């Protein structure tokens, strides 16, 4: 498919149309979508003082990625009961639907929902799933969950997360993944957890190549057998790896705004997303943790259209790639594909 000529100015009408296209989003962290006002409200209700994680303007306050992970965990600490996660689910799906997202996948961690205990996890999950079903009816957005272990919590916690995933695989829970601090441990340390999830029929993704280089992405594919990679953007310097990703049909869950906000790349114009596309790698667009990175799916589309001169056909292709790589069943994929055809 040919891209529009980036030298041709994009009309306001064209841009407006692109920004409002129906969208598929594969890479979001459930708690990371929580608006700061929502978290402040819960903190007040529960009389927990987490005022130090907010700036005077009300936004989340952190210095860098590693501090972000600490602030993220402090924000999450006010989500104490299944009902809190149900309320979070309703709030975040309403926001995503306002951004025309028709299908979304989100990372949900048993570490935050019962600490890895299967019985407790099931209670959290039921509450989230009920809220997601109501949101599908009310806002027209379909959600699927990817059970996620947290790398800096280590392989033992990951095994517990995988057992939770295996016990609830099918229906709403369609995948298993890993987030957290990529600088700690190796992908292969988590092979047991990923094997357990695969045997339960779950599809696999892991964060790799956000902070580490191309070898991390290679390890993710070779040691864990994932079909998708969270970020993966630092693969761009290794041509042989890009060929492997393209040949093996691995999809990258690219989060451009997150990468720029956290300083992985200095500006969107320096982001390798165009280079990855040019090499035939499957790329998709997501927001990661939108309020933390001051972004939304509409903002991502507007920024990409302006920076790279991408027209409607590119965004339609990105969404087709995303629904093709989505961890959902055939009937859901077909239903969402129809929704994406909306003009």
Q: Which amino acids are annotated catalytic?
A: 210
Verify binding: residue 288, Zn ion, rule CB under 5 A. Answer: yes
The Cα–Cα gap between 78 and 86 comes to 13
Q: Which is nearer to Zn ion, 31 or 84 (CB)?
A: 31
Verify binding: residue 253, Zn ion, rule CB under 5 A. Answer: no
Residue 129 interaction partner, one of ligand ADE, Zn ion, none, beta carbon < 5-8 Å per kind = none
Joined together, the tokens standing for residue 221 give 């594919």
Direct distance between the N- and C-terminal alpha carbons of the chain, in angstroms, rounded to an integer? 18
Q: Which is nearer to Zn ion, 111 or 288 (CB)?
A: 288
Work out how close the CB of 210 gets to ligand ADE at its nearest, in angstroms, rounded to a whole number. 6
Q: Which is nearer to ligand ADE, 18 or 153 (CB)?
A: 153
Q: Which is nearer to ligand ADE, 84 or 289 (CB)?
A: 289
Site stretch for Zn ion (CB under 5 A), options 115-123, 168-176, 262-270, 286-294: 286-294
Q: Which is nearer to ligand ADE, 187 or 258 (CB)?
A: 258
Work out how close the CB of 258 gets to ligand ADE at its nearest, in angstroms, rounded to a whole number. 6
Which residues of this chain interact with ligand ADE, rule CB under 6 A? Answer: 29, 32, 72, 179-180, 207, 210, 258, 288-289
Work out how close the CB of 70 gets to ligand ADE at its nearest, in angstroms, rounded to a whole number. 11
Closest-by-Cβ residue to ligand ADE is: 179
Residue 104 interaction partner, one of ligand ADE, Zn ion, none, beta carbon < 5-8 Å per kind = none
Residue 258 interaction partner, one of Zn ion, ligand ADE, none, beta carbon < 5-8 Å per kind = ligand ADE
Q: ∠231-104-274 over CA atoms, to 5°?
A: 35
Identify which of 47, 52, 77 has the alpha carbon closest to the alpha carbon of residue 62. 52
- What residue has token string 């272990």? 149
CB 227 within 8 A of CB 198: no
Work out how close the CB of 85 gets to ligand ADE at its nearest, in angstroms, rounded to a whole number. 16
Applying CB under 5 A, the residues found at the interface with Zn ion are: 288
């Amino acid at each position: 498919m040919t891209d529009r000529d980036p030298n041709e100015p994009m009309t306001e009408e064209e841009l407006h149309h692109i920004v409002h296209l129906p969208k598929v989003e594969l890479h979001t962290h459930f708690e990371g979508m929580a608006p700061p006002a929502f978290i402040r409200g819960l903190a007040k209700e529960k009389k927990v003082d987490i005022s130090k994680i907010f700036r005077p303007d009300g936004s989340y306050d952190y210095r860098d990625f590693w501090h972000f992970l600490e602030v993220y965990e402090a924000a999450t600490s006010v989500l104490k009961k299944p009902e809190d996660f149900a309320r979070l689910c309703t709030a975040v799906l309403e926001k995503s639907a306002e951004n025309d997202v028709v299908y979304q996948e989100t990372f949900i961690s048993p570490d935050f929902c019962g600490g890895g205990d299967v019985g407790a996890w099931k209670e959290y999950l039921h509450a989230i799933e009920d809220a997601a079903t109501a949101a599908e009816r009310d806002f027209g957005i379909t959600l699927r969950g990817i059970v996620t272990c947290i790398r800096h919590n280590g392989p033992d916690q990951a095994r517990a997360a995988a057992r939770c995933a295996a016990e609830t695989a099918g229906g709403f829970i369609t995948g298993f993944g890993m987030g957290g601090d990529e600088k700690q441990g190796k992908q292969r340390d988590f092979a047991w957890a990923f094997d357990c999830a695969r045997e339960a029929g779950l599809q696999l993704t892991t964060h790799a190549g956000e902070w580490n280089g191309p070898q991390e992405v290679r390890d993710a594919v070779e040691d864990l057998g994932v079909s998708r990679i969270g970020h993966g953007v630092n693969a761009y310097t290794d041509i042989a790896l890009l060929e492997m990703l393209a040949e093996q049909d691995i999809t990258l869950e690219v989060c451009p705004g997150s990468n720029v906000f956290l300083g992985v790349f200095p500006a969107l114009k320096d982001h390798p997303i165009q280079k990855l596309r040019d090499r035939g790698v499957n790329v998709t667009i997501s927001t990661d943790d939108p309020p933390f990175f001051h972004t939304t799916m509409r903002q991502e589309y507007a920024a990409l259209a302006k920076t790279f001169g991408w027209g409607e056909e590119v965004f339609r292709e990105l969404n087709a790639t995303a629904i093709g790589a989505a961890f959902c069943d055939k009937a859901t994929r077909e239903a969402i594909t129809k929704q994406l055809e909306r003009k």
